[in-house]
Structure 1
Amino acid sequence: MEIHEEIKNLREELRAAKGRIEELEQRVEHLRVSRRVLMNLLEKVEREKVTLIHKLEKENIRLQRDNTRFAKWIFSKNREIVQLQEKIEEYKEKA
């Protein structure tokens, strides 16, 4: 009777162990899927980051170019103002 009881206990333990193994295998599979999803999201975020950086670099170059153009225009207008002020002074002196 003892051996029969021991075999019964071993079978129950084996069944429980198999159930636990199946549960762990399912969890491992879910973790694999989750990892794939996270890796795909990470790759997507990295691609978006590279795209955004490229866009911002282009915009920065454009803004620098526009700023240089505007600074030259301001400098030119300032030169015109100075020349006009000099002419006004000359006319005042002649008058």
Structure 2
Amino acid sequence: MNGSADIQYLQKRIQELEEKVEQLRLSRRVLMNLIEKIEKDKTGFVSKLEKENRKLHKDNYRYAKSLLKQNRRIVELQNRLEDLFTEM
């Protein structure tokens, strides 16, 4: 090859490499946008799960408190029945 052909080859090769670099930059931007979207979605989902978890804990606490109150009432009624039967 002569010098002129070498220069043309190298210029063409440089152009190809610059295009590949630009494609890589574009791909990187697309991937970064996807990662950001996934992270945002994940954060929203985790927040929703945490809120639901708090609600379930609160509901569970209320239910347990209600059961305890009902159990106390049952014991009170059983004690009254026993007192009534012992008085007879």
Question: Would you say same fold, with TM above 0.5?
Answer: yes
- 1:80 aligned onto 2:86: no
The equivalent of 2:87 in structure 1 is: 94
The equivalent of 1:32 in structure 2 is: 25
Aligned counterparts of 1:64 and 1:42: Cα–Cα separation in 2: 32
Q: Which amino acid aligns with 1:49?
A: K
Q: Which runs of 5+ in 1 are unaligned?
A: 1-7
Aligned residues: CA RMSD: 1.3
Q: Which runs of 5+ in 2 are unaligned?
A: none
The equivalent of 1:63 in structure 2 is: 56
Runs of 4+ in 1 over 6 A off after TM superposition: none
The offset of 1:84, in angstroms, is 1.5
The equivalent of 1:44 in structure 2 is: 37
Q: Which amino acid aligns with 1:52?
A: F
Equivalent residue for 1:23, pick from 6, 16, 38 = 16
Identity %: 47
TM-score scaled by structure 1?
Answer: 0.84
Report the number of matched residues: 88
